[in-house]
Structure 1
Amino acid sequence: MESQWFVARLHDRSIRGLSRQVAALIQSGMLPVGTNLPPIRKLAFALGVSPATVSIAWGELRRRNLIEGRGRSGMFVTGTSIVPHPVRRTASVGLSKTSFDLTSYTPDLSLLPSLDRAFSLVGRTPNLNAYEDETIIGALRAIASDTWPYTPEDFMACNGGYGGVHDVMHALIPPGSMVAVEDPAPMRVLDILDHLSALIVPVRSDEEGPLPDSLQAALGRGATAFYLQPGLNAITGRAISAARAAELAVSMADAPATWIIEDDALSGLADKTAASLGVWRPEQTIHVRSLSKSLGPDLRIGVISASARIIRELQAFRSFGAGWTSRLLQSAAAWMLTDTETCATVARARHVYGMRRRALADALANHGIDVGGGGGFSLWLPVVNEVDALATLASDGIRVTGGKKCSVGGAPHIRLSFSRLISDQEWLASRLVFAGLR
């Protein structure tokens, strides 16, 4: 489209106005996918605004995945979605199923505890149906206090682990900020940061967790926050050691204004309590514990800890929506966490997942591949060429996740789930090796 076409249709020349009007033109079909947009300077001159105004407006459209491009190739229309959506996760769902789908990083339903008894008792929940923005019910607060990896000032219930991470990031990370992220990281977390137009700075890791030198480099660039998974990493299955956590805490002492956002995504399925940096840096730490993988995804319950001031800020942010997490669900979760039968079921699930991981690890070891220790649901496997590995496995009816969806600029990997893998380990190992494991 020529600049004059836009001049006739863009009457509000403010940053917000340009972004809103162009989004409407894209969503209406007047600017179809593939349309090349005029160069920023040329369009700005025609509209009588500064190039910075157009550039910032275009940045908002890019954040919403409506346009893309850079440099001499210019910008072009790439999507017509009315609302922003998580690009990485959206690309991973709704695809045709294969005979051997290993992309579902969810618990085995047969290993989850029953919810029947828990929900038969929720009538005892205090303040039931009261329109009060209560942060957390007393029973769940007491359990969290007894089991938390450090002693925080305050707690808040949240709508699942990702719901908690979403609220924390949107409340505390200004759009466009630089954020240090333990690499690899869950797709949803990277999508959340993309939605915030954050510059993701990967913090490389080894078997003990994020590397202090890599974190120091990210902090030196001015990171506003540091995201990490102190318990079992949802991608690699490794946990941060206590010694490494202490080293990272020393690094964070040099950045007192940087938030530490801890995501304990697999709480209940790890052999040890997460090694939280909150032991050393409680005033900076926001720790999010998910109960979904151990008690059940539909329970949608997690718990956040932070300073009392940050809990107040998060509560104020949540007032845009429901304002509080269902007391019915909180009450059910609190009962389950103290129920002997439920605790035994979770312990059995932890054991079974460990056996399934060992079975696949042993099968790979027979081919000379050492995956190291760990737990959770996933294996993070290095490959010679990610695209070739995905294609080779797909030809065998095996679907896994490409590492690029979970890593920012790292070496080629694939990620697969073994949470429901009860057989065929030897066959799978042979196909993985043939696909180019290294």
Structure 2
Amino acid sequence: MSIQQKARSRCHWLPTLDKTQDTLYLTLADQLAADIAAGRMSPGDKLPPQRLLADALGITLGTVTRAYREAERRGLTEARVGSGTRVRGTQADEPDFHHLSRASAGSIDLSLSIPIPNPVRAEQLAFSLQQIANQPDITRQALAYQPEQGNLGQREILAEWMTRHQLPVEASELLITEGGQHADYLAMQALIRPGEAVASAALTYPGMIAIARQLGLKHIPVPTDHQGIRPDALERLCQQQKIRLLYVMPEYNNPTGEHMSQARREAIVDIARRHDLLLLEDGVQYVIPSQRGTPFYRLAPERSLYIFSVSKIIEGGLRFGALRAPTNLIPRLSAALRAQCWSVPGLMGAIACRWLSSGNADTLIDWQWAEVSRRQVLLKQTLLHYETEAHAYGFHAWLKLPEPWRAVDFVAEAAHRGVTLIASDPFCVGSHPAPQAVRICVTPPAEIGIFETGIQRLSTLLREGPSHAAPLV
């Protein structure tokens, strides 16, 4: 039996190809898409190893490799180190990341990166609404159609507030958005074409991963170290292929907590300028000015975009944020926003801006930073003997699990103990292997005592190990 015959007998998926086609890899990807649509390949089905399929079809390994990459770019498949390439499922089969709590009744939720619950928020909201109601001109403006870049008065208030908090911007540089996720999506939809490459840390915000998939972008993971994205790794990737945009979270990466030094930021800016990369900085994970480095838009204003949102400092339900961009890009971004939703609702902007300008937001923020800092200290003390990474004012910590724990088992056993967590899988870009680690959010419990109970349960679970894990009685 020939090598090709042996290979064909071992392939559970064996497409028929017209080898006269010039772009054979696209033909192969098209055939896979057709077989998935026809039900001949189902979600979760594993594709043959690349060399085996190449031998079976009598084509080069490079052709199969390009076809598999094309299939992944289209969202047809998903590759994982150690488990091969599989047909992707429906949205319900996506990694289990969520922005709303799925904690069971009575469970201590440490899975969400949200502001610490506080009844003062409701009081301040009522105050802001009353002030708006007492000013008919403000109310009338808020209820009217808004310019696609956003209400000028609101942009001026936001620019003044950001500048006062050491994020200096001009109102003309801002475009009002429906929160940080919208700003992220808007930037990539307006500035990056389907099929082009964007890059981020290999472990990054799942919202960014979802956007890249939705827009048909090639999402490249960049290796990191204790300071985040490694310049040497980014340089190599830029030499190998054209990358249009780099997504960064320099203050503390979500989920790993890495903080970029000034030297690291400057090295990335140098690479971005030499290789013509846009820089998209996610500033939603806001920290106090004394703990913040120089934003990228101050280092490279001509190619940097900055995402701001009130979700972590006031409340996520307001869905109010802004995208700072070079002025030459504002028309393209405005046109994209107009095509999406015409304009951002003026009422939410009026509420958020009144909240910021009244000074009430600053009082709430000061309280929250002090409370977050207390919880981070408590977490560090409780998990002293385990490897954690966190920013002193960060909403979460990254726990690297000791052997023989596996992340999926730890999350399951923690749930049995009454603690809800998120494992590493949803944060992995492309085929980057999921580390044995979990994200612990310090902010969902309203009371620090409840938070302490939660991390004490995790400490006990770590100490006992998987073989002794048992439900809490």
Q: TM (normalized to structure 1)? A: 0.77
Partner secondary structure for residue 340 of structure 2 = coil
Tell me which residue corresponds to 1:412. 436
Other-structure match for 1:429: 459
Matched, 1:106 2:120: no
Query: Per the alignment, do residues 247 and 143 of structure 1 end up closer, same or farther by CA in structure 2, a change over 3 Å counting?
Result: farther
Q: Does residue 380 of the first structure (1) align with residue 398 of the second (2)?
A: yes
1:171-320 aligned at under 5 Å gives the runs: 171-195=190-214, 196-206=216-226, 208-221=227-240, 222-255=242-275, 257-267=276-286, 271-273=290-292, 275-320=294-339
Q: Is the 8 A contact 2:398 2:437 kept in 1?
A: yes
Q: Please say if residues 185 and 234 of structure 1, whose CA atoms lie closer than 8 Å, have aligned partners that are also in contact.
A: yes
> Do the aligned partners of residues 311 and 96 (structure 1) sit closer, same or farther apart at CA in structure 2, a change above 3 Å counting?
same
CA distance in 1 between partners of 2:382 and 2:406 (Å): 22
Q: Does 1:142 align with 2:149?
A: no
Moved more, 410-419 or 59-68: 59-68
Measure the CA separation in 1 of the matches of 2:337 and 2:402. Answer: 45
Aligned partner letter, 1:142: E
| Unmatched runs of 5 consecutive residues or more in structure 2 | 1-12, 17-25, 58-62, 467-473
Higher mean displacement: 329-338 or 197-206: 197-206
Structure 1 position 351 matched with structure 2 position 370 = yes
> Structure 1 270/231 Cα, relative in aligned 2: closer, same or farther at 3 Å?
farther
User: How high is the TM-score relative to the length of structure 2?
Assistant: 0.72
Question: What are the superposed Cα offsets for residues 320-366 of structure 1, whole Å, 9 maximum, x if unpaired?
Answer: 2212111111111111112223321121011111111111111122x
RMSD: 4.1
Partner residue of 2:4? none
- Equivalent residue, structure 1, for 2:347: 328
Over the matched positions of the two proteins, sequence identity in percent amounts to 20
* 3-state SS of 1:312 partner: helix
Q: Give the Cα separation in 1 of the matches to 2:98 and 2:410.
A: 19
Is 1:160–1:302's contact at 8 Å kept on the other side of the alignment?
A: yes
Give the whole-Å Cα distance in 2 for the aligned partners of 1:375 and 1:33: 41
Decide whether aligned partners of structure 1 residues 379 and 69 sit closer, same or farther in structure 2, where only a CA change above 3 A counts. Answer: closer
Please give the alpha-carbon distance, in whole angstroms, between the structure 2 residues aligned to 1:245 and 1:128.
39
How do 1:21-170 residues align onto structure 2 when only pairs under 5 Å count? 25=38, 78-79=88-89, 81=90, 87-89=94-96, 97=104, 99-110=107-118, 113-114=121-122, 115-120=125-130, 121=132, 123=136, 124-125=138-139, 127-146=141-160, 147-148=162-163, 149-151=167-169, 154-170=173-189
> Counterpart of 2:398 in structure 1: which amino acid?
W
Whether the 8 Å contact between 2:146 and 2:345 is mirrored in structure 1 is no
SS at match of 1:317: helix
**Cα offset, 1:273, TM superposition:** 4.6
Which 5+ residue runs of structure 1 have no aligned equivalent?
Answer: 5-12, 45-51
Task: Tell me how far apart the structure 2 counterparts of residues 235 and 111 of structure 1 sit (CA, whole Å).
Answer: 28
What residue identity is the alignment partner of 1:162?
Q
CA distance in 2, matches of 1:358, 1:68: 38
Cα distance, 1:172 vs structure 2: 1.6
One-letter identity of the residue aligned with 1:136: G
Which one of the candidate residues 413, 421, 424 is aligned to 1:395? 413
Which of 327-336 and 393-402 deviates more? 393-402
Letter in 2 for 1:375: Y
